Amino acid sequence: MNPGMFIEANRIGPEWIADYGNGHLEVRNPANGELLGSVPLARAADVERCIAVAARAGERWRATPARARARALRRWHDLIAARKEDLATILTLEQGKPLSEARAEIDYAASFVQWYAEEAERIYGRIAPSIDGTSVFTVEKVPVGVVAAITPWNAPCSMVTRKVAPAIAAGCSVVLKPAEATPFSALALAELAAQAGIADGVLNVITGMPAEIGAVFTQSRAVRKISFTGSTPVARRLFAHAADSMKRLSLEAGGNAPFIVLQDADLDVAIDAAMIAKFRSGGQSCVAANRFFIHASVYEPFKTAFTRRVASLTCGAGMDHADVGPVIDANAARRIASLIDDATAQGATVLCGGYRAGTAFVNPAIVCDISPKMKIYRDEIFGPVAGLCAFEDVDALVSSLNAEDVGLIAYIISQDSIAARNIANRLDVGMVGINTGLASDASMPFGGVKGSGIGREGSIEGIEAYLETKYIKATP
């Protein structure tokens, strides 16, 4: 790997800062606990300085022509593509996912930069008719200002570009705080952004204690927008704390995705989709299928075929080309083990897989006959464990899912496209995948309803999130 890509420093304006005199945060490889490096802990005053640098750079960036912003983004895209192997290696080392999945994530991350390089030139306002004929009404789209972006560890590159690319395309500057477990992917992306000619101060990266940095973000008057991806409790906290300064917010929080297999489903399609929806990224994704609702008439054949496929998955270090890597750390693995134990204590059965005690590995598992009283049914598993149960009445299933507090994505498998779309229309979720286990795409709006969040990322909604609407009435 190119050694210049592993950066143990923060980026503020044109500077790389390796030490604030406040200690460092260690980053470890989840597969073996090995120390990969450390990043500095920023103090509140450092975060404030970073915001001030971003605010000054933002004034210049918003005045930079759209075509120049687009060109810089295009160069960033090309550099990400050229450094795909280096970025994928960093990602696998700090996050744990298999190298093949890390490469796919770099492609996905790059696709947001490409999409928003193109969208930068297509930010339109409108001229509205003046009702009494005396004035000219123009409606303009202007950048919101400084954006604070907070990203999670499960997709350390694509969650950065999904926020940063549209913000920069819109003419905003960004202070990015990556997750403690995965700062090196974000810092490498920032280095490539600088090489691409994205002006100094437009993309800043800061690391430190999340609650402390979050408090500076929410209290700052200069920060005009927070874009967050992570857990529902932290999303709620940011929402509450941002009330005082009335910030714009995009919050992408957790889901508890149902995967519904109807009576007439093609079981081969169902199993292929289930494998992707559940085991991509080891199930550590907010769009990972959490609960599999299988029509009672096909429950037994689905269980048999799914178990055969899941039991054949290899589980090991991402650099060793396993199908499923470790979860993010040993604590996460223990939490997943406790969900399985809670389920089996209440009558569920493990068909394959399970926790490898004392490690960050959970062998891909299937737990059947789960029910709403079990934590595995109610909580996001965030690991390579599939919970299965049979259903008979699809209307009752839709009603019970709609009564829940979250609604990010649902998967439906059926050969009857009208029936599947009908269920898709009735489910209270932001996204639906029909006969597929992979619905994410840079050109589509990603996001959920209720406790799953506010706002959308990707597509035209994704850039709109960084634009303010301003109307000007001109009377001669």
Binding residues for ligand ADP (CB under 6 A): 150-152, 177, 179-180, 210-211, 214, 230-231, 234, 237
Q: Min. distance of Cβ 265 from ligand ADP in angstroms?
A: 32
Please state whether 347 falls in left (phi above 0), alpha (psi between -120 and 50) or beta.
Answer: left
**Is 273:437 a contact under the CB 8 Å cutoff?**
yes
Nearest to 67 by CA among 112, 114, 113, 120: 120
Beta bridge partners of 454: 251
Q: Min. distance of Cβ 326 from ligand ADP in angstroms?
A: 15
Q: Which ranges of 7-98 does DSSP label H, i.e. alpha helix?
A: 44-62, 66-82, 84-95
Beta bridge partners of 388: 292, 368
**Taking the alpha carbons of 392, 394, 398, 403 in that order, is the dihedral positive or negative?**
negative
Nearer residue to ligand ADP within complex by CB, 114 or 232 = 232
Nearer residue to ligand ADP within complex by CB, 177 or 295 = 177
Length of the chain: 476
- Residue of 8, 105, 191, 252 with catalytic role: 252
**Is 303:309 a contact under the CB 8 Å cutoff?**
no
**Is 212:44 a contact under the CB 8 Å cutoff?**
yes
Nearer residue to ligand ADP within complex by CB, 217 or 259 = 217
- Our answer to whether residue 286 is catalytic in this structure is yes
CA 44 to chain centre: 26
Per-residue tokens: 55: 């605010």
Nearer residue to ligand ADP within complex by CB, 150 or 199 = 150
Per-residue tokens: 320: 């060793």
Cα-based angle 436, 378, 395 (whole degrees, multiple of 5): 60
Nearer residue to ligand ADP within complex by CB, 244 or 300 = 244
Give me the residue whose beta carbon is nearest to ligand ADP. 214
Q: Min. distance of Cβ 199 from ligand ADP in angstroms?
A: 25
Between β-strands 10-12 and 15-17, what pairing exists: parallel, antiparallel or unpaired?
antiparallel
Nearer residue to ligand ADP within complex by CB, 156 or 353 = 156
Q: Min. distance of Cβ 211 from ligand ADP in angstroms?
A: 4
Q: Min. distance of Cβ 237 from ligand ADP in angstroms?
A: 6
List all residues 6 or more positions away from 119 whose beta carbon is below 8 Å from its beta carbon.
166, 169, 460, 463
Nearest to 203 by CA among 234, 238, 242, 163: 163
- Type of residue found at 178: P
Q: Min. distance of Cβ 382 from ligand ADP in angstroms?
A: 7
Euclidean distance between the first and the last CA atom of the chain, given in angstroms as a whole number: 63
Per-residue tokens: 209: 């204690």
Strand ranges inside 85-145, DSSP E: 126-128, 136-143
Q: Min. distance of Cβ 214 from ligand ADP in angstroms?
A: 2
**Is 147:174 a contact under the CB 8 Å cutoff?**
yes
- Our answer to whether residue 389 is catalytic in this structure is no
- Residue of 50, 157, 172, 286 with catalytic role: 286
Q: Min. distance of Cβ 453 from ligand ADP in angstroms?
A: 12
> How does DSSP assign 246-263, residue by residue?
T-EEEEE----EEEEE-T
Nearer residue to ligand ADP within complex by CB, 214 or 433 = 214
**Is 163:76 a contact under the CB 8 Å cutoff?**
no
Catalytic site positions: 252, 286
